[in-house]
Amino acid sequence: MALITGLRRRALLACAGMVLAAAGTTSWAQERHIVMASTTSTEQSGLFAHLLPAFKQATGIAVRVVALGTGQALDMGRRGDADVMFVHDKAAEEKFVAEGYGIKRQPVMYNDFVVIGPKDDPAGVRGKDVVEAFRKLAASSHPFVSRGDKSGTHSAELRYWKEAGVDDPAGKVAGYKACGCGMGPALNIASSSNAYVLADRGTWLSFKNRGDLVVLVEGDKRLFNQYGVIVVNPARHPHVKRDLAQAFADWVVSPQGQATIAEYKINGEQLFFPNANEER
């Protein structure tokens, strides 16, 4: 079983999007490392390229990231194919821990979601009320790109549709298109089709192919986007590198880790806000 799990890990790392925290000549077999299942937003925003080298410098531990939607990342943890999770769907994270797959959930940082769309806003969603915006999108035939990948962003989007009175947007909203993809690809599709899309602000700020898209809805407290870290429970999967994974979890909520997160900016704008001790 341990051999099968090891082979599956290597296959996942070979085919999934990865951030290699430590480039160098040290072989993988010799390197102290952990596998982290995380979200596409933390990778595609550029945060990990800033954060993980600082962690390695502090601890000597390399982190190999498999970037997936939060739902897929948690499933990876359930299978024992990762040592630690760094995700953003609090309800799903708490369920993961309650089911015994994770040791403890710790809040790390937050940013917010924004509704992106064409600057001429044909659906008339511009403002600060995300639910009203989704009501207007439901009544419009203008295209809306959903990630459709069980990610934290997708889960938030479905909550907003439900609050707007739409339980099944795929079957009820004329312009709804699910891509089953990460945040960056979803933004690219929205840009090429001049569509609306829900995005995390960090990925949007680092996104270059904006076309005519702009931020149309922001500032609603319901757009709050919390991230958490969870070490996979070795009682479920004895091969998990608990000590190394816990070292990452402890570091990312430490003063040094929190300061490193706060330092990450694009064009002078901070993308993520540390809140290890003050989660909302």
pLDDT at residue 243 in the model? 97
Tell me the pLDDT tens digit for each residue of 198-208.
999 999 999 99
Per-residue pLDDT tens over the stretch 10-22: 555 544 444 444 4
Given pLDDT bands bounded at 50, 70 and 90, which one contains residue 113? very high
Query: Domain coordinates of the chain in residue numbers?
Result: 2-110+225-274, 112-223
- Tens of pLDDT, residue by residue over 130-140, are 999 999 999 99
Compute how many other C-beta atoms are within 10 angstroms of the C-beta atom of residue 8. Answer: 14
92: left (phi over 0), alpha (psi -120 to 50) or beta: alpha
Sign of torsion over alpha carbons 37, 41, 44, 50: negative
pLDDT given at position 277 = 82
Q: Which CATH class is domain 112-223?
A: alpha beta
Q: Please, which pLDDT band fits residue 171 given cuts at 50, 70 and 90?
A: confident
Band of residue 162 on the pLDDT scale cut at 50, 70, 90: very high
Q: How far does CA 199 lie from the centroid of its chain?
A: 10
Domain 2-110+225-274, second-level architecture: 3-Layer(aba) Sandwich (3.40)
Q: Do domains 2-110+225-274 and 112-223 have the same CATH topology?
A: yes
What's this model's pTM, rounded to 2 decimal places? 0.83
- pLDDT greater than 80 at residue 6: no
Q: Do the beta carbons of residue 197 and residue 117 sit within 8 Å? A: yes
